[in-house]
Amino acid sequence: MNIALHDITVRKGQTTVVENLCLTFPQGEWTAIVGKNGVGKSTVLEVIKGLTTPVMGHIETPPNIGYMFQQVDQQFFEPTVEKELTFTLRYLKTKEAIVQQRLQEMMNLFQLEPSLLEQSPYHLSGGQKKRIALATVLMGEPDVLLLDEPTAGLDATQKEQLLNILKSWQQQGKTIICITHELEDVLQYADNVFVMGNGTAQFLPVEEAFFMRPTVLTDAQLLLPPVVRCFHDISKRLEKPLQTSTKPQQLLAIIAEGVKEYGSRATIRE
Amino acid sequence: MLSSNQFTYRHVGTSGVSNISFTVQPGECVVVIGENGSGKSTLLQAIAGLLPAQQGQITWNGEAVSPQKIGIVFQHPDHQFITTSVLDEMVFGLENLKVERSEMEGRVREALALVNMEWTLHAHPQQLSGGEKQRIAIAAILAMQPEVLLLDEVTAMLDPQAREQIYQIIKQLKKQQKTIIYTTHLTEEYAFADRCLLLEKGELRQDITLEELAMTETTALPFSLQLQRACGAPLRNISWEEYIESL
């Protein structure tokens, strides 16, 4: 089912963080929440998860929602990775055979070495912690996954690996709602983008946001990635719309063709 | 000149760096790249004089490196703060260096002006945003007037707007011919560097210019170099705007 927020208002102390928010996150799609710090992005996730109660409005969600914290250390409390991964299923008195099967699936999906299972989650590297935190959430087979900046601090390889795992998981019909500052990742992986500004909010498909209406992003004081800025620059110089793509290498090839055309026109002008 | 000669430091277990040899000339800006766990932070801490050599040595102008000459800023500025006001934070390092009190005010004001944070002088460091904290952490090190500045993934936890402010500081320091060695995962940030040191599993695999890096098959490059390569153009470490204007 979709996640629907109806006229949600949230106050923290005297401050209204979110006001009269009406929004639907479609089932099976990846929606990125973007905006500057302090505009209420995390509050939206907290409302969906039920960690923050709105003062007004109501919300419809599926029952099984997974939440990966930004600071994954806040999520760990078991002495070993194995206990951390299996905690929820064992707490729910799931049959041990199923627990072991799910554990094996996660170890395959995240390419975890068996020796990792006996280590303390607190003693892992930043990238390993993120993978264990996500695997722990996925062990519970949630219908919806809420993620708060899951790739912050990861290197390029680890980031790509994590995002590809999320993409393959989404392709099983699951819903992802992900806060991020990395607009290049939004362009490549997300289906929709929810742009939050000070008192403004817009929900639109990714291609529309980046290529047709980039002012929605820039008005929220977000910096477009260089590849998108260059796309618009070349399109303007050539005075024609260019083909669009959310695939990085295809988009680069489209821009490169545009640049070559502009270069040859410049030579003729001379 | 900074010189690393067969430097080795292994942590307990397997991580660390081995047999690292390279030089950095005064005024050069060098980026150390590699995956998490490749030894980037270990190398920077060693250059800062924070880790003793198990083999080989690192020297600055022929002398063993020391924190008096070489300043390091970390990924998490909270690890660096120990006082309750920006002023105290800035003064603390200067007191340790036995800088005359008459000289302190000028140094503090100059460093805060460079990072555009003069207004925070009496603020509590913990009340500042992540980007502001990082700029104060840089200013506190700059006030100590190090001869080499090391930046260890200082933008990793910042949003793009806060990163942009750090970039302005780096550009300013480059204009001042400061010797800078930094680490990053963000390919756009490679562009500040004159040279890249590529680490793999604790060993130095390549010591090359950005243009030479772009001639390899890697896609981990600043967008401008990716674009120039896709266009079949001669590779130059310039912005994409400069490249298009040059056509």
Residue for token digits 């929900």? A203
Nearest-by-CA chain B residue for A150: B157
A-to-B residue pairs, Cβ atoms closer than 8 angstroms: 72
Q: Which of A54, A4, A46, A43 is nearest to A24 (CA)?
A: A4
Question: Token digits for A198?
Answer: 């000070």
CA distance A29 to A1: 11
pLDDT at B60 over 90: yes
B188 close contact with A: CB closer than 8 A: yes
Summarize pLDDT for A114-172 with one digit per residue, the tens.
988 998 888 887 778 889 999 999 999 999 999 999 998 788 888 999 999 999 999 99
Contact A260 B231 (CB under 8 A): yes
Contact B36 A234 (CB under 8 A): no
Sheet of strand A192-196: strand arrangement: A65-68, A144-148, A175-179, A30-34, A192-196, A201-205
Residue B223's pLDDT is what? Answer: 96
Summarize pLDDT for A39-84 with one digit per residue, the tens.
889 999 999 999 999 999 999 999 999 999 888 877 888 999 999 9
For chain A, give the number of residues: 270
Residues A47, A59: contact at Cβ < 8 Å?
yes
Question: In Å, how far from its chain's centre is CA B87?
Answer: 23
Summarize pLDDT for A230-268 with one digit per residue, the tens.
999 999 999 999 999 999 999 999 999 999 999 998 777
Residues B222, B187: contact at Cβ < 8 Å?
yes
Residue B162's pLDDT is what? Answer: 85
Give the one of A181, A237, A263 whose C-beta lies nearest to B159's C-beta: A181
Contact B159 A37 (CB under 8 A): yes
Summarize pLDDT for A172-211 with one digit per residue, the tens.
999 999 999 999 999 999 999 999 997 789 999 999 999 9
Residues B58, B7: contact at Cβ < 8 Å?
yes
